[in-house]
């Protein structure tokens, strides 16, 4: 081989190596490109899947929001009905269009609505957004005024005078005021000392925007806790108004067992009417009367009604035997045509068309067994609020067994305790009846409602600005359209009338007295998302 040929061969060899390197490089670049493209495709697929999943979740969330909004519209629809519905309702067409997507809302009556006064409903709402649907179920029940320890529509007396809360007052339960007409909470905590509890032991709500304080608006938690147990978190302003009932017509019908044929002659009427073949008795009083509740040796409730005075005085005695469930009536005050017996006392509502001039006594215990109440001793005593008829509480009015909210609902004490509600245009609490107008300690175990949405009424103490002081203990609640005075204060301390000791009875929120007025609102008992 010549040198030239050798050189040529060497060049050819180097060229071949170079070509091989270039080929390998191209293969490597191609492989890397393939990997990058593959990873990009996978990443794009993952991103696309994530976007789709995110969009799906957003649509599902939107559908759930629509369902929740539909359920709330259902609650508002119920609130706006003059009479609670008695049949299931599809209200979709009545509540307008959903803000996004669409909804369907159905209201189902609880199976026991035909035998209970507080109606319960199940609201089913389904929201749909871009073919994605979610559903919720909300259970609601009519709200009763028994849920309040204290309630006012106006925070001033009917005369317009200011009534203040004092450091010697105690309200151990939920408080609400509509404080309409420019009225306001007036709180005087001047008399507070480290040995005292705050005035309000539970949440205070009001429709207004401010509270007036004396000696000054609290500037620290220490100051706030002189007024509210929970300090600055113990009150909430600007809440929704709660309307008082317009009349006691529902109680009137319940006491007579009918909406027609009411007695027109003064007297006491036990009406026995057949319900499912059983004589159910209801109690109706025509004219003014004094009413005394008592418990006989057998633990039965005795109701003594007195009408007239002197030689014209007449009396009727109604006895409810809780063991047999039967009712008997006797006495000269019984009206013409009144029954003298019934196989039961159907609902425990006592209605008086006139004033109840004196009310006092003891409410019999419930019967209970196995941790459950088997026979309630539950009573509502009402007068005609449209005709501005009143109730005067002349002495203590108590449960034979007092409830104890610190104990469980199925504790023997709470199972035994009876239930009482009063409704009148005005409720007066009498003093000692002497010229000194002293105010002995008084206990009232009941939820009291005075006034209506059409006529002012209040709960007040006779001669509250005179005589010595006592303590007014209430186990239940006080509901009134305008605040009634129960005492006067000086330097934040009561100097005439009564100091307040108001204690909430939580039983009355869920098991109120029979046919006790409702607030027009609905309490939410439960809420859940229905699984897909």
Q: Residue ranges per domain, the chain?
A: 3-130, 249-474
Tell me how crowded residue 338 is: count the other CB atoms within 10 A of its CB: 19
**What token pair was written down for 513?**
């007295």
* Alpha carbon separation from 93 to 75, 87, 98, 221 (Å, rounded): 15, 17, 11, 50
Which pTM does this prediction carry? 0.83
**What token pair was written down for 291?**
């009413």
Q: Tens of pLDDT along the chain (532 residues)? A: 455 555 555 555 555 555 566 666 777 766 677 777 777 777 776 666 666 667 778 889 999 999 999 999 999 999 999 889 999 999 999 999 998 999 999 999 999 998 788 999 999 999 999 989 999 999 999 999 999 999 999 888 878 888 888 888 889 999 999 987 777 888 989 888 877 789 999 999 999 888 999 999 999 999 999 999 999 999 999 998 999 999 999 999 999 988 899 999 999 999 887 666 655 778 999 999 999 999 999 999 999 999 999 999 999 999 999 888 889 999 999 999 999 998 877 689 999 999 999 999 999 999 999 999 998 999 999 999 999 999 999 999 999 999 999 999 999 999 999 999 999 999 999 999 999 999 999 999 999 999 998 889 999 999 999 999 999 999 999 999 999 999 998 877 889 999 999 999 999 998 999 999 999 899 999 999 999 8
Closest CA to 301 of 321, 317, 316, 283: 321
Closest CA to 506 of 476, 473, 474: 476
Q: Find all residues with CB under 8 Å of 270, minimum gap 6, and list them.
A: 281, 282, 283, 318, 327, 329, 334, 338, 339, 340, 341, 342
Strand partners, 496: 488
Q: What is the mean pLDDT of the chain?
A: 89
**What token pair was written down for 355?**
């004033």
Closest CA to 241 of 519, 448, 522: 519
| CA 428 remoteness from chain centre | 25
Q: Find all residues with CB under 8 Å of 275, minimum gap 6, and list them.
A: 346
């Amino acid at each position: 081989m010549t040198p030239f040929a050798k050189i040529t061969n060497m060049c050819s060899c180097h060229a071949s190596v170079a070509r091989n390197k270039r080929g390998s490089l191209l293969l490597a670049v191609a492989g890397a490109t393939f990997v990058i493209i593959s990873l990009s495709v996978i990443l794009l697929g993952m991103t696309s899947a994530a976007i789709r999943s995110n969009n799906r979740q957003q649509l599902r969330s939107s559908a759930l929001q629509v369902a929740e909004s539909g359920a709330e519209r259902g609650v508002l629809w119920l609130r706006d009905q003059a009479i609670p519905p008695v049949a299931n309702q599809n209200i979709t067409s009545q509540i307008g269009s959903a803000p996004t997507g669409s909804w369907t809302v159905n209201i189902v009556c609880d199976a026991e609505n035909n035998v209970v006064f507080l109606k319960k409903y199940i609201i089913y709402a389904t929201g749909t957004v871009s073919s994605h649907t979610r559903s919720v179920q909300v259970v609601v029940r009519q709200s009763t005024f028994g849920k309040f320890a204290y309630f006012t529509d106006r925070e001033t007396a009917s005369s317009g005078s200011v009534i203040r809360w004092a450091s010697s007052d105690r309200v151990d339960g939920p408080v609400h005021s509509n404080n309409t007409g420019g009225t306001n909470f007036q709180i005087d905590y001047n008399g507070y000392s480290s040995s005292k509890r705050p005035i309000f032991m539970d949440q205070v709500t009001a429709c207004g925007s401010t509270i007036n304080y004396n000696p000054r608006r609290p500037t620290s938690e220490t100051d706030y806790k002189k007024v509210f147990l929970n300090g600055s978190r113990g009150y909430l302003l600007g809440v929704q108004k709660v309307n008082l009932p317009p009349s006691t017509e529902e109680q009137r019908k319940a006491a007579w067992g009918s909406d027609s044929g009411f007695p027109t002659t003064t007297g006491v009427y036990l009406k026995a009417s057949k319900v499912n073949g059983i004589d159910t008795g209801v109690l109706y009083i025509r004219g003014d009367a004094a009413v005394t509740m008592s418990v006989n040796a057998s633990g039965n409730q005795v109701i003594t009604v007195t009408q007239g005075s002197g030689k014209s005085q007449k009396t009727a005695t109604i006895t409810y035997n809780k063991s047999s469930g039967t009712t008997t009536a006797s006495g000269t005050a019984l009206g013409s045509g009144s029954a003298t017996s019934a196989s039961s006392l159907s609902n425990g509502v006592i209605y008086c068309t006139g004033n109840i001039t004196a009310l006092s006594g003891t409410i019999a215990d419930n019967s209970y067994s196995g941790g459950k109440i088997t026979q309630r001793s539950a009573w509502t005593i009402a007068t005609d609020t449209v005709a501005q008829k009143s109730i005067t509480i002349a002495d203590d009015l108590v449960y034979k067994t007092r409830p104890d909210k610190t104990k469980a609902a199925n504790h023997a004490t709470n199972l035994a305790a009876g239930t009482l509600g009063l409704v009148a245009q005005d409720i007066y609490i009498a003093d000692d009846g002497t010229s000194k107008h002293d105010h002995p300690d008084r206990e009232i175990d009941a939820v009291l409602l005075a006034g209506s949405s059409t006529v002012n009424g209040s709960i007040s103490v006779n001669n509250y600005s005179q005589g010595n002081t006592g303590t007014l203990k209430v186990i239940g609640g006080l509901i009134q359209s305008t605040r009634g005075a129960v005492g006067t204060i000086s330097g934040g301390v009561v100097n005439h009338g009564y100091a307040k000791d108001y204690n909430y009875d939580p039983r009355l929120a869920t098991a109120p007295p029979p046919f006790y007025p409702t607030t027009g609102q609905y309490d939410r008992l439960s809420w859940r998302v229905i699984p897909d």
